[in-house]
Amino acid sequence: MACGVLTPRGQPSGHGGPVFPEAGVIHVPGCPLLARPVPAGFPSPATDYVETRLSLDKHLVEHEDATFFVRVQGNSMVGFGIHDGDLLVVDRSRDPGDRSVVIAVVDGQFMVKQACRVPEGVLLRSSGPGHGDILVGPEQELAVWGVVRWAIHPVS
């Protein structure tokens, strides 16, 4: 992710280089990270200072070679904080534990669900109004493509 170095078309560097490469611009990956958290309640009188730079790639991706991104379509997972249009960060190297939110493929259909182990098989839970759970029995084909690590969505 690039912050502050733009190409002539307004694209981050890496898509054509900086506007003035001859000026010796050195790009430090990432964006500034404030040294102190920002209060969500009563504002702090303390002055915040930039502590370091934060690369979202490094912050969100633990296993680069095993991570992929996928866009959400639908509202079946709003109770888990996953909304229509969100970008999910999915790690294929993590073993899905009981109650992990996963990208699953059931009988050829992709979905994001919470996977729960039950005596009858695996229960894929939804959390949105009007969306039921799916019980995957032994006669069905289930593949877990990865564990959802992050959901990225706009604030408003």
* Of 93, 113, 127, 156, catalytic: 113
Domain shared by 44 and 71, yes or no:
no
For the stretch 79-108, pLDDT in tens is 999 999 999 999 999 999 999 999 999 988
Q: With helix as H, strand as E and coil as C, how does 50-117 read?
A: EEEEECHHHHHCCCHHHEEEEECCCCCCHHHCCCCCCEEEEECCCCCCCCEEEEEEECCEEEEEEEEE
Q: Let me know if 76 is a catalytic residue.
A: yes
Could you tell me if 89 and 133 lie in one domain?
A: yes
Per the annotation, the verdict on 58 as an active-site residue is no
Can you give the pLDDT at residue 30? 61
Residues spanned by the domain of 82: 64-152
Q: Do residues 42 and 71 both lie within one domain?
A: no
Candidate list 44, 76, 93, 156, residue with the active-site label: 76
Query: Are 4 and 40 part of one and the same domain?
Result: yes
* Number of separate domains in the chain: 2
Region 48-59 average pLDDT? 74
Q: What is the pLDDT of residue 56?
A: 86
